[in-house]
A and B are shown apart, each in its own frame.
Chain A
Amino acid sequence: MPTLFQAPVTKPVKKPIKTHAHARMSPLTAFAVNPYGVRFETQEAEEQVALFLRQHLIVNVPWIAVTIIFLLAPSVLFPLILRSLPAPLPFVYVLIGTLSWYLVTLGFALVNFLHWFFNIYIVTNERIIDIDFQYLLFKRFSQAELERIQDISYTSGGIFATVFHYGNVYVQTAGEMPNLEFLAVPRPDKVVEKIRSLTENLPGSI
């Protein structure tokens, strides 16, 4: 019997991701689509960063407020403490105490900024990566292949999250892979949309 139709045999080809203009990165960037000039530790040669995320800038407000209070404290607190002492403290002790106070304040601000700066979420055309630095000495690198993503959702609640438009994105993966959580990221709806569009472009997807 003659063959009426023969489906073309083609190898599954990776569909290229939709190209957008490259986003310029600044030190305070918390949301960037196709960022320019960003590379991470285990990035492969053909792997492209499609989305770069940090927590929303607003999450830094508490430690910035504490830093400002710490900076202002010596002018208010130190005279009160010195006055309450039974004997006057030599000037050199006051000097070293004040300088130490400002040094620790600088360290406090630096640690908090580093914590925010290096806790990042990256979505590439192949996988999703969550890099966490906790307490300065502990690093956690979690990743999930895009093919293994089963479900993706987000939540955004509360006054600040609504006003500043940020929320948590939850990525559920198949099997033993850990589920990923992007906490307090800007524009969670856009993040979900972007990941969904990437998974739809995977080879074998409809």
Chain B
Amino acid sequence: MTPPIMTIALTIIKVLTLVGLGLYSLFAGIMIRQEQLMAAVLEEGFEPILRILTILHFAAAVGLFILAVIIL
């Protein structure tokens, strides 16, 4: 049987992890928007790759958040 203190500690870690990953997903979404604004200022050939990278980063953040909700 898991000691109650361990259960409380794991619950606190779980809540903190979910809040942290939720906020990080928000930050990753803002990063996409900001990249779009930056790209509007400067038109350059490499910009689509940066856009894909920021979108992938956002997708990874949301994916990890969902994974944490499911498995923690």
Residues of A within 8 A of B (CB): 25-27, 37-41, 87, 90, 92-93, 95-97, 99-100, 103-104, 106-107, 110-111, 114, 117-118, 120, 131, 133, 136-137, 139, 141
Contacts and interface: CB of A to CB of B under 8 A. Distances in A.
Interface in B7-36: 10, 13-14, 17, 20-21, 24, 27-28, 30-31, 34-35
Contacts of B20: 100
Contact of B61 (A41, A103, A117): A103
Contact of A96 (B3, B24, B71): B71
Nearest to B42: A40
B42 A131 contact: yes
A110 B54 contact: yes
B35 A40 contact: no
Contacts of A117: 38, 46, 50
A37 B45 CA distance: 8
Interface of B: 3, 6, 10, 13-14, 17, 20-21, 24, 27-28, 30-31, 34-35, 37-38, 40-46, 49-50, 53-54, 57, 60-61, 64, 67-68, 71-72
Given A96-B71, A110-B31, A39 B57 contact: no
A104 B34 CA distance: 18
A38 B50 contact: no
Contacts, number: 88
Nearest to A93: B13
B59 to A, nearest CB: 11
Contact of A104 (B10, B24, B71): B24
A139 B35 CA distance: 12
A103 B31 contact: no
Given A93-B13, A107-B31, A99 B41 contact: no
A137 B42 contact: no
Contacts of A97: 17
Given A107-B24, A111-B31, A92 B71 contact: yes
Given A104-B24, A117-B38, 4 more contacts: A92-B71, A93-B72, A107-B61, A118-B42
